[in-house]
Amino acid sequence: MRATIQHRIGGVLGGGIILAQFIVARQIGAAPFLGMLVTAGVVTSILLDHFGWIGFERHPATIWRIFGGLLMIGGVALVAML
C-alpha cells in the first residue's frame, strides 16, 4: 500500500462527512446539511484558487466570485430558517 498522507487524510475526512451526514443531517434536515456541504466546497475552492494552495493555478478571488460565495451562504441561511 503506497498511500500518501494526502490520501489517508482524504479517507479520514470522507468518513467524517459520512458520519456527519448520519448524525447532523437528522437533526437539522437534509437540505440545510447538503447546502452547507456544497457551500463549504465552493468557498474552499475560491480560497484554493486565490492562494494557489496544494498546487492549484492561481485565479484571483474577484468581487464576483466573492459575491457568489456570499449568495450561497445567504441561500443556505434562508433554507435553514424556513
CA distance 68 to 60: 14
Average pLDDT, the chain: 91
Please determine, for residue 1, whether its predicted confidence score (pLDDT) is greater than 70.
Answer: no
List the grid coordinates of 12: 479520514
Residue 82, pLDDT score: 77
pLDDT 10s digits, 53-80: 888 899 999 999 999 999 999 999 999 8
Measuring CA to CA, which residue among 25, 6, 5, 27 is closest to residue 17? 25
**What mean pLDDT is predicted for residues 14-18?**
92
Please determine, for residue 44, whether its predicted confidence score (pLDDT) is greater than 80.
Answer: yes
pLDDT 10s digits, 22-41: 899 899 998 999 999 999 99
- Taken in order 70, 59, 33, 20, the sign of the CA dihedral is negative
